[in-house]
Structure 1
C-alpha cells in the first residue's frame, strides 16, 4: 500500500480576522463602531427559526419597525433659533415648513417633538388662513396637528413657535467654567435625536432643504449645514423675537440648498479658530474648526483630507456634492465623529500635537466621516434596517483610503480587522444585519452582524467576486440613480446586477438577510508518494432550513519549490474535499488569502507552513492570519519565527505588534528572552516600542522595574510612557512610586500618561494618587480622561478607614450633576462601588425625576448597589467607549 504521509502537526484557529479597532479609527470595537455604534439596546432573544422575534407571542403584535408615513412632501424648512443662554442651555425656536400633500387627503400631521414647550402652531403667510392658529396637541414626545379641512393639492406653510432647555439628547450644551473656556453647543441628530431641539419628521425617509437663522452671543463662531450666507448684528428680538438684549448677540445665516434627511441637520456654536485646508487636488472649500491655540496642529492631523476627497470622487463617480467640507472639533462629544452634511463634528481628542503625530494618525476617522458625505448624506438609507449602506460603505471607504496611502498591504490590514466580525456573527443569532426588528434605532448599528465591519466585508467580497471594473461600474450606477435620494439594499443589488449581468440575489440574501457567518474546519494533508495534497473543508456552524450551508469562494494558494499557484474553489455544501496534484512538497499553503469569503476557519496545518505564510504570505491578511495561528503554538521554531517578524523593520506594524503579543502570551523563558532582547536592542517605531514595553511586566520584577522606570521618565512617546506606567502598576513596583508621581503631572495627548500614572499609583496603593486624580477629574480637562480619574477616586478611598473618604464622596456627589455624561456616570459608578449612603438623597432624586429615562435606569442600578441588593454594572459611556449617538425613544410604527 502507498504510504500516506500526513503532515498534520496540530490544529489552529484562523479567524481570518483581527481585533476590530475603535470607532475613533473608523471601524468598530466589539459592537462599534461608528461605532457602534456603540453600546445601545439589549440583545433580543435567540430564535431557532427564521422570522421568530418578528411578533410578540403574548399579544401577537408585530415587533418590526416600519418607516412612518410622511404624508406630505417637506419642500423647505426655515429654522430660526436663538441660543438665549448657553450656560443654562436655554433656546427659543421657530420652524416654518413648506409642505405639499401626497396621495390621500391629509387632514392632520404628526411631528416628533420631545421635551419642548410649544407656544403656538399657525398657518404661514402663503396659506389660505395666514396667521390663524392650527389646532394641535403635544403629549411631550409628539406634536399632533389637526386641520379643519384636508390640505388642498398645493404648497402650504406651517409655523411652530417653541422653546427648550437642556435637552436630554440632540443638542449638547457645555457651559463655561474657568479653564473650560467659553460655552459651547453642538447638535447630534443620529439616530432620531434632533426632534429634541426642533419639531420634525425625525426619520430618514424624507429630505428637505433648510435655511438657518441662528443668533448666538457675540464672540462665538456658529456653523450649520450648507453655505455661509452672512454674519451680522442680531435684529431686535433675535431670530424668533425672544432675545431681550439683541445687542449682545449676532445673527448667523447658513443655507443648505440641496435636500437632506432630518438626522443630518446640525449646528455648532462656540469659540473656535477656523483654519483653511488646501491642496490634495480638490477645489472644495475646507476648514477645520479647533480650539484657539491648536491652529499649528491642523495640517499634521487633517492635511490629507483633500487627497481623500479626490479619491472618493473617483470611487463614487460623483463630485463632492456639498457647498463646503468643514471638520469641527467639539467638546463633550458622545461619539467619535458625526457626518453632518458639509460639517462633520469630531471628538475633542481629534487633533494631534507633534509627539502624538509621530505615533498615530486620525486618517481612519477622517476618511470614514468624509466618505459618509457620499454614502449616508448624498444617498441615505431609507430605514435603519439598511444602515449598512451608510456605515458599511464609510468603513470600506477607510480601507480604500489606506489602499491608496499604503498600498495593498494597508488595504488588507484594514479588511482583516473588519473580518473580525465573523467571530461574533452566529447563524444562531436572532436577527440578520438587515432587519426591521429592534427596540431602539441604534440597535441596528451595534448588532453582532455589525453593519460597519460586516458591511465593509460584503463590499470587499463583491469587489473580489465581480472584479474591480464591474464592481465600480455598479457603484457608479447606484450613486447616479440615487444621488440626492434614499436607498435600500435591493437598490444597491440591482445596480450591481445591471452592471455585471449576474444575478446576486443569493449573495445578498446570504450575507445581508440571514444571520451568521460560516465556521469552517479545514484539514490539509500531503501524500509524498503521489505528490497529491488533499484539503477537506467542513462548515460547522448551525445549518438548517433557516440558515443553510453557505456558498463560498475559497481559493487556495499553494507554493512549492517551483513557485506559487492559485486554485479557485467554490463550496456550497456542509463538507467538501479536493485533491491538488503538485510538483513537490508544499512550502506554503494559504486558504483564501484575499478574504473572498467572510468566515472563521480552524485549520489543521503544520507549523512550518504557517511560519512561511506569516513571513511571506501572498497578502497581509494571510500573514496576520498565520501569526494569529502561530500564537497557539509555543514551539522553538515558532518562537524564533515570531521574534524575527517582531524585529523586522520592513514588516507591517500590525504583524510586528501581533508577533510581540504572541510571544508575550507564551510566557515561556525562551519567548521572554527574545522579547527582552528586542527591547534592549532598541526600536524606532513608537507603536512597536510601546508593544515591547507592555511585555516588560512579564520579566523578572527587578529587571522590569528598572527598564519601565527609564521609559516612563525618558521616552518621548506618549504611548510608551503610558505603557511603562501601567507596567509599574502591574508589577506593584512601590519603590518606583516617585517616578509615577512625577508622571502624573505630565500632559499628553488625550491625557494618556496622567491616567496611566494615576491608575498605577492606585494599583500600588500609594496615597499620593489622590491629588493628581482630583486635579484630572476637575472640569476643563479632556472629557474622556476625566471618567478614568473619577473611577480612580473611588478606588483610592475604597477602604473603610480611608481618611479622605468623606472629601472624595462629597466631590463625587457634586459630579452627579456634571454637564459631561461620561463624568456623571463615572461618579455614579464610583459612589455605587463605595456603597456611599451619603449619596442616596441625590441618586434617589435622579432615579425618581430625571428627564432622561436612561439616566433614571442607571440611578436605579446605583441605588441597588449602595443598598446591597446587587452590584452596579459598568457604564460603557464612562469607560471611554462611545455611548449611543441616538435616541432611546420608543419604536415607532406608521
Structure 2
C-alpha cells in the first residue's frame, strides 16, 4: 500500500511545489494614504511599509503591479529603486543591521487597475459610484505597494481622501474625518496585525446603520435605497457573534464589525478583518425571505474573523485552516439556529459538493503544495471536504476536547500565522491523543473512504450478519482507519455497536431475538466517508420507516431511487406530503421520484403540487417534474411560473423544468417570464438558461439580447452560459470572444462555463485567450476546458455515438419504467 496519494487530474506537468515565501525581513506595519479619483478611475497613493530586518541586508523588494512609481524613500531619505511592473526593488543605501526597523515609503499612481481594487460599474468608462477592494489571494499589490503574502501580518492605517459625497469604511477604528477643500479625509486604524490580503476599504454612494452588541459597534453599509433590507439580511449578526464567542471561548477580535454590500462584487463575500465586503445580491425583500437567507454567507464570513483573520494560514497550502473551519462554523450556527436536521442536511450537501468535484474534475490532498496559482485551492477540497474532516476530528476527540483545542489554537496563534502541523500539535497537546494517522489519512493524502454496507438475517440461527467493505478508488488510500457506530433497530429496543474499521472488509455477527426492523451505519454522520447501501428494497424501506436519524433515511431514499417501482413511489408519497417531516428529507423524496420515473411518479409529483406548502419542497417538486417530457407537466408548471404568490425560487425552478418538459408552449411562456421582477433577477436569469435548454432559433435570438452591456452583470452571465447549449455560429463566437475580454472576472469565467457545455473545437481560440487571463482561477479552468475539448476531438465520433446510445437507452428505460409501473398499478 502506498501512503502518499497526490490524487488525479489536479497537477499539470509545469506545476512545482510552492513553499512559504522566504525573505530576510518581516513586515510589521502598513501606513497608506490614498486619494481616490472616481471620475478617472485612478488612485494616487503614498504607502509606508515598516520592516524588521531578520538579516543584514541592503535591498528590500515590494509587490506592486502595473503602477506608476513616482518616488521612493527609506526612512524619509530619497532612495534608488528598480521596477519591472511587478516587483519594486528598493536600495537601502547601505547594508542595514539585523533587528533594525526601517520604513520604506513609495509615492505611486494606479490607473484603471485590473484587480485588487474595483471601480463600479466595472465595465464602464463613466465615473464610478463605488470603489472597493478584494485582496485575496494576492491582489492587494494591484492598488497598494506592500509585501503581499499571507505569512507576515502587520498593523494597518488607511487614510483615504474622497469627494464630499462619498462614504468610506475600512479596517479598524475611525480615528479622523475632516473636510479638505471639496473632499473629505477619512483615517482608519487597525492595531491588530493582519495579512495584507485583508487590508480593505469601500467608498462611494452608501447608506449605513449602526448598532451595538455590548461595546462592539456593528455597522451595516448598503447601497442607497436598500436600507429597509438590512434587518432581513443581518438581524442575526449579534447572535452569531455571541455563539462563536461562546463556542471558541475567544471574544470577537477587532474593535468593530462592519458588513458592506457592494454592487458587482467579484465574490460572495470577503472576510477582511473588521470589514466584511459582501455582494449586494444578499439583500432581499420579504418575498425572497420565504426561502432565501443571508445567514449562511453572514455566518461564514463572521467565522473567518477568528479562522483566517485572527489566525491566518501560513501559506496557501494550508488554506483549509481558514476555509474548512469557516465552512464548519457556518454549519454549526445553522444547527444552533435551526436544529439538528438542518445541520446534518448541510453536512450531506457538503459531501455532495465535494464528491461532485472529485468525480467530475480532480482529487488532491487538502494540504497541497503543488499548484500553479493560489486561486486553484479555493475549491471543494478546501471548503466542504475540509469542514467534514474537521467535523470527523470533533467526533473522534469529543466536543469538550475539540472546543478546548480550538481555544488553545486561537489564543496561541492570535494575530499570527499557523500551519497544519501547528494545529495538529495543539490538538495532541490538549487531548493527549496521537493523531498522525488522522492527518495522514484525511489532510496529507488525496481521496476519501468509500464504504459499501449490507446486512442479512439468518432466520434459523437468529443471527444478523453485517458486512462493511472499503471500496475506494486508486487515488485514495487502500484502507482507512474509521471508528464507526452501528445502530440496530428492533420493535422493542435499539442496540448500538461501536467498531474500529481498519480492514478492507469486515463482517460482524450479532445474535438477536428477532429480525431487526432496520440497521443503520453511522446514523448521525459523524465520520467523513462516501457510503453506499448494498441492500434490497425491503431493507431500504425499513430504514425509511424506522430509523429516526436523517442521514440514513436520505441515503436509503437515494438508493431506492436507483431501484424504482410504483410501490416504492406510493410508500414514499406519504412522507412527501407530511408537513411535519423535515423539508430536506421531503425534497430528497421528490428527487427520487424523478429518478424512478413512470406514470405513478409523474402523477404523484403533479398531485403533490396541489398539496405541499413548504417552498423549498415545492422547489424540489417542480425541479423533479423537469425529468418528464409531457404537455401536462408544461401546463402545470406554467401556472406555477405565472403565480405571483409562489416564491421567486419556486417560479425560477419551474422555468427550467418547463424547458426540459418540451412543452409546446414553452417559448411563449418563458419569453413573458423574462419581464417578471424577482430577487437578484433570479427568475430572469433562470429563464435565460431555460431558453438555452429549449435550444430553438427564437430562443437563441432572445438570449443574445441579454448579452448586451446594458444588462446587469448577473443577467449577462446567465445569458452567456445559455449560449453554451447552441452550436457555435459566427455570431455566438463573436459574442463569446468579446466577453472573454470583459473586465469582470465572473463574465470571463462564465464564457468557459458555456464552452464546457458545448466542447466544440471551434471554441478553442477563445479558450486560448482565457489561458492567459489575469485571474489564476480562470487560467486553471481554461486549461481544464482545453483538455476536455482535446479529448472530445480525439474521440469525437465515438463520443457522438455514445451520446446517441445513452439517449436511446434513457428513452428505453423511461418506457420500461412506464410499462412496469402500469403492471404494478394493475397488481400483476
TM-score, normalised with respect to structure 2: 0.86
Q: Which aligned pairs between 1:559-574 and structure 2 lie closer than 5 A?
A: 559-574=489-504
Q: Does 1:436 align with 2:369?
A: yes
370, 375, 387: which is aligned to 2:302?
A: 370
With over 3 angstroms needed to count, the CA separation of the structure-2 counterparts of 1:870 and 1:664, relative to structure 1, is: closer
The answer on whether the counterparts of 2:119 and 2:132 sit within 8 Å (CA) in structure 1 is yes
Q: Which residue of 2 is the match for residue 186 of structure 1?
A: 132
Contact 1:368/1:398 (CA < 8 Å) preserved in 2? yes
Q: In structure 2, how many angstroms separate the alpha carbons of the residues matched to 1:176 and 1:454?
A: 34
Alpha-carbon contact 2:271-2:277 (below 8 Å) kept: yes
Aligned partners of 1:578 and 1:844: how far apart in 2? 54
CA distance in 1, matches of 2:427, 2:296: 27
Preserved CA contact (<8 Å) 1:798 1:834: no
- What is aligned with 1:583? 513
Comparing 313-322 with 149-158, which one deviates more in the overlay? 149-158
C-alpha distance after superposition, 1:737-771 (max 9, x if no partner): 44333321111112121233344456557777688
How many correspondences in the alignment? 785
> SS state of the match for residue 57, structure 2?
coil
1:148 counterpart SS class: strand
Aligned to 1:684: 613
Deviation at 1:53, TM superposition (A): 10
**Superposition pairs for residues 641-652 of structure 1, below 5 Å?**
641-652=571-582
Aligned to 1:348: 280
Counterpart contact for 2:564–2:596, Cα < 8 Å: yes
Partner residue in 2 for 1:744: 674
8 Å CA contact 1:846–1:856 kept in 2: the answer is no
Residue 276 of structure 1 deviates from its aligned partner by 3.0
Contact 2:131-2:202 within 8 A present in 1 as well: yes
Larger deviation, residues 354-363 vs 147-156 = 147-156
CA-CA distance at 1:844 after TM superposition: 13
Q: Residue 745 of structure 2 aligns with which residue?
A: 821
Deviates more, 1:474-483 or 1:429-438: 429-438
Change (3 A) 1:362 1:385: same
- CA drift at 1:396: 0.5
CA shift, 1:340, in A, is 0.6
Q: What per-residue deviation string (whole Å, max 9, x for no partner) do you get for residues 263-318 of structure 1?
A: 1111212211113355xx65421122212111111111211111100000011111
Q: Which residue of 2 aligns with 1:536?
A: 467
Does the C-alpha gap of structure 1 residues 263 and 864 become closer, same or farther in structure 2, counting only changes over 3 Å? closer
Distance 1:271 1:667, change over 3 A: same
Mapped contact 1:399–1:411 kept (Cα < 8 A): yes
Q: Distance in 2 between matches of 1:216 and 1:74?
A: 28
User: Match of 1:358?
Assistant: 290
Kindly indicate which of the two structures has a greater share of residues assigned to helix: 2
1: CA distance, partners of 2:637 / 2:115: 44
User: What is the aligned counterpart of 1:445 among 358, 374, 378?
Assistant: 378
Cα deviation for residue 344 of structure 1 reads 0.8
Question: Which residue number in structure 2 is paired with residue 881 of structure 1?
Answer: none
Indicate yes or no: 2:427 matched with 1:474. Answer: no
Where does residue 674 of structure 1 map in the other structure?
Answer: 604
The reply on whether 1:158 has 2:158 as its aligned counterpart is: no
Take 1:630 and 1:325, find their aligned partners in 2: how far apart are those partners? 48
Match of 1:703 among 628, 632, 643: 632
Task: Tell me how far apart the structure 2 counterparts of residues 493 and 859 of structure 1 sit (CA, whole Å).
Answer: 36
- Residue 114 of structure 1 corresponds to 65
- Which residue in 1 is equivalent to 2:651? 721
State the 1:552 CA deviation: 0.5
Write the mapping of 1:517-528 to structure 2, written as runs, cut at 5 A.
517-528=448-459
C-alpha RMSD over aligned residues: 3.9
Structure 1 residue 67 corresponds to structure 2 residue 20: yes
1:316-348 Cα distance to aligned partner (Å, 9 max, x none): 111111111111111222221111101111123
Q: Deviations over 1:34-72 (max 9, x none)?
A: xxxxxxxxxxxxx97738799xx999x993211112422
Distance 2:435 2:733 in 1: 61
Tell whether the 8 Å contact from 1:174 to 1:819 is kept in structure 2 after alignment.
no
Partner of 2:442: 511
1:141 equivalent to 2:86? Answer yes
Structure 1 contact 744–772 (Cα < 8 Å) conserved: no
Residue ranges of structure 1 left out of the alignment (5+ in a row): 1-46, 125-129, 235-246, 872-894
* Inter-partner Cα distance in structure 1 for 2:727 and 2:512: 68
Structure 2 counterpart of 1:755? 685
Distance 1:525 1:290 in 2: 60
Partner Cα distance (2:5, 2:271) in 1: 33
What is the distance in 2 between the residues matched to 1:848 and 1:753?
Answer: 32
Tell me what 1:33 maps to: none
- Structure 1 residues 248 and 58: alpha-carbon distance in aligned structure 2, compared to 1, 3 A threshold: closer
Is the CA contact (8 Å cut-off) linking 2:71 and 2:78 kept in structure 1?
no
- Indicate how the Cα distance of structure 1 residues 767 and 216 shifts in structure 2: closer, same or farther if over 3 A, else same: farther
Q: CA separation in 2, counterparts of 1:860 and 1:699? A: 36
Between the aligned partners of 2:42 and 2:268, the Cα distance in structure 1 is: 26
Distance in 2 (CA, whole Å) between partners of 1:328 and 1:233 is 23
Partner of 2:151: 205
Alpha carbons 1:751, 1:782 under 8 Å: kept: no
Report what 1:123 is aligned to. Answer: 74
**How far apart are the structure 1 equivalents of 2:194 and 2:132?**
18
Which residue in the other structure is 1:880 paired with? none
Q: Which one of the candidate residues 186, 190, 196 is aligned to 1:262? A: 196
- Which residue is 2:393 aligned to? 462
Aligned 8 A contact 1:282 1:310 in 2: no
Q: Which has the higher contact order (CA 8 A, sep 6+)?
A: 1
State the Cα distance separating 1:586 from its structure 2 match.
Answer: 0.8
Following the alignment from structure 1 to structure 2, what is the Cα–Cα distance between the partners of residues 223 and 630? 54
Is the CA contact 1:380–1:390 (under 8 Å) kept in the aligned structure 2?
yes
Q: Is the 8 A contact 2:15 2:370 kept in 1?
A: no
Structure 1 counterpart of 2:424: 493
How far off is 1:390 after superposition? 0.7
| Map of 1:90 onto structure 2 | 42
Question: Following the alignment from structure 1 to structure 2, what is the Cα–Cα distance between the partners of residues 77 and 612?
Answer: 63
Secondary structure class of the residue paired with 1:321: coil
Q: 1:817 to 1:415 in 2, by over 3 A?
A: closer
